[in-house]
Structure 1
Amino acid sequence: MAGVGSPERTASLVDAILQEFPELIIHLHRHSTDGLGLPAMIAAAKAGAKIFDVTDDAFVRFYGQAPVRPFVALLKENGFDVNIKEKSLDDASNLVHEFIHHYEPFESQYRGPSYDVVYHRMPGGAFPSSFEQAEKGGFLHLMPWILKGMSFGNRIIRYFDVTPGSQITWTTWAGIIQRRFQEGGEEKVVQLLDFLEAFIANGQDLNALDEEARKELVRLYETASDDLRKLLLGEYGPLPFGWPENWVYRSAFGAEKWQEAIQQRDEGAPPPIEVDIESERKNLAKELNRPPTNNELVLYLQHPTGALKFFQFRKKYGNTSVLPTYAWLYGLDHKHDRVQFDSNGKPHEIRLVSIGKETEDGLVWVVLSVDNVLIEFPVETPKAQADGSVSVQFADPSKPEEVGSPMSGNIWRMGSPKRSIQEGDIVEKDEELTNIEVMKTENAVRAPFAGQIERIHIKLDDAVVEGQILFEITPLSKKAAKGNVPPLFSHIENSEEE
């Protein structure tokens, strides 16, 4: 993948590979975010690449692949033989034109090329989805600063910024900038970015910094995610341009553990844990109450939480992919009151008959004709959903026993890979309590001190917001009598006498 490689660099890379391995078939995957997608692909073709990822012309957006028809024309103009049915390309693009406008409300807030990507290095799908996350999270106005911070971060920790790297960089800097903004608004953010710009321009020379500046630098990665720490430990492989400076480890792992982290990095990443496929198959079968297909198992192994949600949705609603685009996105109304489609070779029709008035408990009864059979469906209005909802409770920053969420995301694991947790369990300081998924990255929430879990406010798959209370923990110093050693697990009594 060459997400943002210039035409010259892309051609140089392809040529270097073929000089060493002339028998290889080079397949280029490149985004058009920087506006140089087509020139880079033609340069790669001239250097010997044979396969290229493109998309239908009507699907083209700046964060996706280059358009197929202009690329075919450029290939021919440069003397290449192209074996493709051009009429089929036109037919496909015309078909896309018929429905693509339905998706306009879901598209990125920014649709033009962004040459800045060569600095912040977040090409492709991660770019628009990050803007979407920023809008939903209420920090879209911080995006220019976040992208500038990412451009500095890529010069401090140097690596190829593709999945999972782009997500790691994004979540790291979205968090850094948000925290600085919360501390002191725009002034605090600009102060940090100006400091980093000067630090990098001066060759990242620590000796040129005074004591206060060094303290500010060490704060940079103090809330590093699990994925950033794994990156620094080499668990995604050695960094191609070398490891970052020691101060980065001091910042990401803390004063007590940074040297141990460097030692662990230098020893090399452990081999990946072998997955017990049959055990996972049994787990999935238990969730589905039936034996899973091989395709379902593969999807579950890749995305456990998302796959389960998809299977549950499919079980409840059936194969909704047969619905026309408009009906799927916006439903039926009196102007568009019916849809017709085929499923398993049989024609079907769903027709809107009537929509009732809202009841006192917030329900609206909708009558549909499904293949000429009248069926009533209750639909909850915002009133009904509000009546059944629970307001979010936030942790009190002045109470260390209340553990809050460091960010907004989804709970994808309770406990750690070593053990799950429950109320009453004894946990050690820095032990993982839960893990929050944000943009495909893992973010552990750890115990601030050794203690006993008094209350758990969340469950698996919950969506949480920044600051929401997750756990209540009582310190062991308050829980245990003086001189007693607390049991390792709450359900195992300490039988030893003093």
Structure 2
Amino acid sequence: MLRALVEFRIRGVKTNIPFLASLLTHPTFIEGTCWTTFIDDTPELFALIGSQNRAQKLLSYLGDLAVNGSQIKGQVGEPKFKGDIIIPEISTNDHTKVDTSKPCKTGWRNIIVEEGPEAFAKAVRANKGCLIMDTTWRDAHQSLLATRVRTVEMLNIAKETSHALSNAWALECWGGATFDVAMRFLYEDPWDRLKKMRKAVPNIPFQMLLRGANGVAYSSLPDNAIYHFCEQAKKHGVDIFRVFDALNDVDQLEVGIKAVLKAGGVCEGTMCYSGDMLNPKKKYNFEYYMDLADKIVKLGAHVLGVKDMAGVLKPRAATKLIGALREKYPDVPIHVHTHDSAGTGVASMVACAQAGADAVDAATDSLSGMTSQPSIGAIVASLEGSDQDTGLDHHALRLIDSYWAQVRLLYSPFEAGLTGPDPEVYEHEIPGGQLTNLIFQASQQGLGEKWALTKKAYEEANDLLGDIVKVTPTSKVVGDLAQFMVSNGLSYDDTIQKAEQLDFPSSVLEFFEGLMGQPYGGFPEPLRTQALRGRRKMDKRPGLYLDPIDIDKVRKELKEKWGGASETDVASHIMYPKVFEDYKKWTAKYGDLSVLPTRFFLSKPEINEEFHVELEKGKVLILKLLAIGPLSEQTGQREVFYEMNGEVRQVTVEDQHAAVENVQRPKADPNDSSEIGSPMAGVVVEIRVKDGAEVKKGDPIAVLSAMKMEMVISASHSGKVKNLGVKEGDSVDSQDLICKITKD
């Protein structure tokens, strides 16, 4: 009966089949113990009513894409690559063909699985050469393509990679920004990505980026949330955890290290490199790093990591620092990460290898350089034949790279337009993973022509904050403050003088509160006190102020809301509650979009262009866009017609362009303190007051969001709210009038 129901297609009737399927599979019905009012008393029978089948959900997405274009933030234009990507046949330097019909079974992961983290660390130290970690599957595309590369691209080249990089230290493929972006913009489950990659590559260790006490979130979480997350990550495929803290706060770092050790993973305790160690006037000098390394090693980390997130570790500094660390810790593996923003990445990594580093980071050639990692081909060639030989086959690497060269063209809509190295990074110190995003954010907020000002403001913002270590999430604090300054025409001195009147971005206030930990050298005063205006100040790590997460409660609530919840769903929700909720709603509406070929995920097909979608093995949809109907003036909708497996289907889509109204809002008078204006362009996500409400100076009026940056707009003085001219969801430009406040 169920099989017959599945084969039914009833046009115009959407409730009968899901209801009958729910009834036939309900335990009470199966047991034959129903009662007269069973249907009335069992509301879950109706839970699936109104749902569409997978094909229809997919057509709904494709129809919306055809009418409204891609909704993925950061996309500009359509992919340059229109054909089918060619998967290379792998062969070695001597042109021996490699059988890639199955994944390779031998690699460094075997030691971790069979003997454990300590044995892995010992084996690495006994290895004569310098190992390579390939960042192509995470940081490379995060830095160059806004983290937008989908899981399918990794899986398509996974078996070939397992052979070509069988002697690699690891594939960096998870954590960091890829976790929330997968749900937020790609509509994928990051845990599903991890499981699928792990199955496809059983031999090479997987490494992830863990933000210490933040997990993969942007602020500190209760300790038990970090322990729960690391347990799940280890269980589903992560081998090596690069644990860092954005401020090099050892108390924050310790939480992540202990969580990884308890989960049984290889722990890479990491210090973040900032500034110029060789400049005696700089805050972060040689002694600072040696002292920090000592504290990390004493916490029990298996590996000592050095994370040069902006690419400012010059070759001479690398030689001195890594050489000293190797001499001091002869039994601890050293792993170095950098970005190639200044163009010196290959030289710095070669210097690290020669000074005693056990592993360095690199990316496939076509996704290397600039804000990404240095070229894997260049490093392998530079070390070939030396005592630091990587043991990788450069011919096989080039064949793998031919695949990624095609993929980069496919994701061309997310390119930042960088054309070469930028040695100015030694001045502004913007991390590689942030630089491309900051360029995009600046253009989205109307600052594209002021990019030079934004870079200068980044330097000034860093100085205002006390010259902090800059990596997610602290780099976001500096970037948010820099854009805030440019948007409002604020100089360094203006920001200090007007601090008590300014509505700083939320991330800046969270930093000043201490929610990101304690910065080396302390917080800047009196700016901190003036900006916080009486808000709390934390002088210890945030986790000590936070109640443990009730994981059982979260699990129960998710099951009630979504009809089921895996332990990884629980972990996702704890890290990103709203992002997870939005992701679940999206997939309930459009289904699993991971099956859609990337080109048709990002852009509509040509009229009468045929393409295939494999829903599952053996079930293929043959699709063709036939026509896009005219706009209905009454409803603002269009009919989109597709041919699916020879049958014409239509979906109704609301044309968002037709519904857009060009709202002209009055501007706030900057000389009139009773008029509250928007500090920058963005979207109103929350209104905290009503017309006529009494407010005090500093009370929140509204919350504004712009590209992950949130700020609270507060009352400039006490009084009564009048002329509230915005509502939640409204878009506003800089200085648009939000409301007026009549003075007491």
TM > 0.5 fold call: yes
Q: Report what 2:516 is aligned to.
A: 236
Q: Report what 1:458 is aligned to.
A: 727
1:2 Cα offset (Å): 0.6
- Looking at structure 1, the residues matched to 431 and 713 of structure 2 have their Cα atoms a distance apart, in angstroms, of 29
Question: Do the aligned residues in 1 keep the contact of 2:678 with 2:713 (CA within 8 Å)?
Answer: yes
Structure with bigger RCO (C-alpha 8 Å, 6+ apart)? 2
Q: Report what 2:640 is aligned to.
A: 366
1:43 Cα offset (Å): 1.8
1:272 Cα offset (Å): 4.5
1:410 Cα offset (Å): 4.8
Question: 1:42 and 1:410, CA in 2 relative to 1: closer, same or farther beyond 3 A?
Answer: farther
- 1:12-411 pair list within 5 angstroms: 12-84=320-392, 86=394, 88-156=396-464, 157-180=466-489, 192=491, 217-219=496-498, 222-240=502-520, 242-243=521-522, 246-249=525-528, 252-253=531-532, 264=537, 267-270=539-542, 271-274=544-547, 275-281=549-555, 284=558, 288-334=561-607, 337-346=609-618, 347-361=620-634, 362-381=636-655, 384-386=658-660, 389=661, 391=663, 393=665, 396-397=668-669, 403-410=676-683
Residue by residue over 1:9-37, the C-alpha shift from the partner in whole angstroms, topping out at 9 and shown as x without a partner, is 23433344444444433332221111111
Question: 1:413 and 1:76, CA in 2 relative to 1: closer, same or farther beyond 3 A?
Answer: farther
The number of aligned residues is 428
- Looking at structure 2, the residues matched to 309 and 277 of structure 1 have their Cα atoms a distance apart, in angstroms, of 20
- Bigger mean CA offset, 267-276 vs 56-65: 267-276
Question: Do the aligned residues in 1 keep the contact of 2:696 with 2:718 (CA within 8 Å)?
Answer: yes
- Looking at structure 2, the residues matched to 93 and 105 of structure 1 have their Cα atoms a distance apart, in angstroms, of 20
Question: Do the aligned residues in 1 keep the contact of 2:624 with 2:642 (CA within 8 Å)?
Answer: yes
Question: 1:40 and 1:368, CA in 2 relative to 1: closer, same or farther beyond 3 A?
Answer: same
Q: Report what 1:207 is aligned to.
A: none
Question: Do the aligned residues in 2 keep the contact of 1:121 with 1:166 (CA within 8 Å)?
Answer: no
- Looking at structure 2, the residues matched to 316 and 48 of structure 1 have their Cα atoms a distance apart, in angstroms, of 53
Gap regions ≥5 residues in structure 2: 1-306
Q: TM-score, normalised by structure 1?
A: 0.73
For the residue of structure 1 that corresponds to 2:640, the secondary structure is strand
Gap regions ≥5 residues in structure 1: 181-188, 197-213, 416-420, 478-498
- Looking at structure 2, the residues matched to 20 and 414 of structure 1 have their Cα atoms a distance apart, in angstroms, of 56
Question: 1:21 and 1:470, CA in 2 relative to 1: closer, same or farther beyond 3 A?
Answer: farther
Give the partner amino acid of 1:219.
K
For the residue of structure 2 that corresponds to 1:138, the secondary structure is coil
For the residue of structure 1 that corresponds to 2:522, the secondary structure is coil
Question: 1:248 and 1:339, CA in 2 relative to 1: closer, same or farther beyond 3 A?
Answer: same
Give the partner amino acid of 2:517.
G
Give the partner amino acid of 1:218.
Q
For the residue of structure 2 that corresponds to 1:63, the secondary structure is coil
- Looking at structure 1, the residues matched to 454 and 666 of structure 2 have their Cα atoms a distance apart, in angstroms, of 26
1:320 Cα offset (Å): 1.8
- Looking at structure 1, the residues matched to 470 and 691 of structure 2 have their Cα atoms a distance apart, in angstroms, of 40
Question: Do the aligned residues in 2 keep the contact of 1:428 with 1:450 (CA within 8 Å)?
Answer: yes
Question: Do the aligned residues in 1 keep the contact of 2:487 with 2:734 (CA within 8 Å)?
Answer: no
- Looking at structure 1, the residues matched to 368 and 586 of structure 2 have their Cα atoms a distance apart, in angstroms, of 30
1:314 Cα offset (Å): 1.9
Give the partner amino acid of 2:716.
P
Q: Report what 1:487 is aligned to.
A: none
1:123 Cα offset (Å): 2.1
Question: 1:300 and 1:216, CA in 2 relative to 1: closer, same or farther beyond 3 A?
Answer: closer
Q: TM-score, normalised by structure 2?
A: 0.51
Question: Do the aligned residues in 2 keep the contact of 1:458 with 1:470 (CA within 8 Å)?
Answer: no
- Looking at structure 1, the residues matched to 683 and 553 of structure 2 have their Cα atoms a distance apart, in angstroms, of 25
Question: Do the aligned residues in 1 keep the contact of 2:513 with 2:532 (CA within 8 Å)?
Answer: no
- Looking at structure 1, the residues matched to 320 and 420 of structure 2 have their Cα atoms a distance apart, in angstroms, of 27
1:382 Cα offset (Å): 5.6
- Looking at structure 2, the residues matched to 411 and 293 of structure 1 have their Cα atoms a distance apart, in angstroms, of 33
Identity within the alignment, %: 21
1:383 Cα offset (Å): 5.3
Question: Do the aligned residues in 2 keep the contact of 1:6 with 1:36 (CA within 8 Å)?
Answer: yes
- Looking at structure 2, the residues matched to 69 and 377 of structure 1 have their Cα atoms a distance apart, in angstroms, of 48
1:368 Cα offset (Å): 0.8
Question: Do the aligned residues in 1 keep the contact of 2:504 with 2:712 (CA within 8 Å)?
Answer: no
